[in-house]
Amino acid sequence: MNQPAVRELDFGDQQSLDAALSIAARGLQESGILKITRQVRAMIARGESVVNLTVGDFDPRYFPIPEKLARGIQDAVARGETNYPNPEGIPALRQSISDYVARTAGVRYPLDSIVVCSGGRPVLYGAYRAIVNPGDKVLFSVPSWQNDSYSWLTGGESIVVESSRASGFQPTAEEFAPHLSGAAMLCLCSPGNPTGTVMSEQQLGDILRAVVAENREREAEGRRPLFVLHDQMYGALVTKGQRHVYPAAVVPESARYVISADGVSKAYAGTGLRLGWMLVAPAIGARIRDILSHAGAWAPKPEQSAVAAFLKDEAAIAEFRVQMDARLHDRLNAMQEGFLALKSAGLPVDSINPQGAIYFSAQFRLHGKTVDGRSIVTDEDIRMLLLERAGVAVVPFQAFGVREETGWFRLSAGAVSMDEIHEMFPRLRALLGEVG
């Protein structure tokens, strides 16, 4: 058969096309994390030696998905499970999730309160879409992950609370209290991105009890309740001595208002599998399912089938947890030890003991100092100094909504080797020793 002559396409001036797009599309800020990641990838591609602590992802060489899960996906494809899944997720998976939550958290979600979708992001986006009317107030603390973007996309008015180091940069009921009465939705994330800290049962319970009290009044007066978006994508990843708590287990009356996001992306290092779920009151779940259907944000059917079987396999989960947690804890503990050693050598750093997720929070107190005659003013100056002079790539808390120059940074443990972490500390020590 004759192939047609190939015509090169010209899309014309891209700037004027871009200017013609919607306000929502054009006003979306590029993620500060992606910008940094791009810069770091370019350096690595040029052959520069960089310890890349910027990505909230896993390197599958160090963090593969469970073998049984990988095999289950292949088997499901071989069985021909390649047509559309049910829009709310296949029943077997929703049953496995319900059983898993009952086993681990002691609360039973019925099947119609579990909606499966393609990762955690659709849960967050769907929740914003289902709850937030243009102009509605969305309450969240910073540093936190992506709330500003979702709020922008849905026309929400962001009410931002700066959380403090004292509470592990997680919000408290006292910080939220002045803003509760006017808010449509409140957002929580524990274990936190970027903080790597876990909300205690008390801290979470106090916020939820305040929400329930607020909603008693609102619903008695026929007003819309305050909803809670609760991101527990890292719920399975906590360090020894920490416990992840489910809102419905701490304050059962809050279940009516809470949308919890969960999935396999972080818990089983399966960020590329694209499978997440929400735990939610059935009326809300049905609406979010319908919204997400228009984006086709369903999880692939072979993955659904495989995760359904995997979540039932308590022994396989336990074995995987031991292996993955050990690798993660080795990395986070090496970072902690390294920073404590720098601090006890009198160098201007601070850090927070890791509690969960795949992140370590470290502070470089370098503002007002000089290196090579160059004065350091902003967190961006610190970031560039660490990158250029020590080959260490980190993300400032400002990429997570913090406005002030605090010197706090997120270090991700998911894509580095132990060797890289060990090599990084002498370089940091030498650089920090030079700072005048």
Ligand X SMILES: Cc1ncc(COP(=O)(O)O)c(C=O)c1O
Would you say how long the chain is, in residues?
A: 436
Closer residue to ligand X in complex, CB, 121/289:
121
Instruction: Report the C-alpha gap between 264 and 312 in whole angstroms.
Output: 14
Closer residue to ligand X in complex, CB, 189/349:
189
CB of 64 to ligand X, least distance (A): 17
Closer residue to ligand X in complex, CB, 296/426:
296
Residues near ligand X, by CB under 6 A: 56, 119-121, 145, 189, 193, 231, 233, 263, 265, 271, 276
Instruction: Report the C-alpha gap between 392 and 54 in whole angstroms.
Output: 9
Q: What is the DSSP string of 134-184?
A: TT-EEEEEES-SSHHHHHHHTT-EEEEEE--GGGTT---HHHHGGGGGGEE
**Strands (E) located in 163-257:** 183-189, 227-231
CB of 15 to ligand X, least distance (A): 31
Closer residue to ligand X in complex, CB, 151/265:
265
CB of 60 to ligand X, least distance (A): 15
CB of 274 to ligand X, least distance (A): 7
**Strands (E) located in 178-304:** 183-189, 227-231, 258-263, 276-279
Query: CB-based contacts of 314: which residues, under 8 Å, 6+ apart?
Result: 103
Decide if 201 contacts 233 (C-beta within 8 A).
Answer: no
Decide if 186 contacts 141 (C-beta within 8 A).
Answer: no
Decide if 299 contacts 89 (C-beta within 8 A).
Answer: yes
Closer residue to ligand X in complex, CB, 193/361:
193
Decide if 198 contacts 191 (C-beta within 8 A).
Answer: yes
CB of 434 to ligand X, least distance (A): 34
CB of 142 to ligand X, least distance (A): 13
CB of 275 to ligand X, least distance (A): 8
Instruction: Report the C-alpha gap between 193 and 162 in whole angstroms.
Output: 15
Closer residue to ligand X in complex, CB, 225/354:
354
Closer residue to ligand X in complex, CB, 149/193:
193
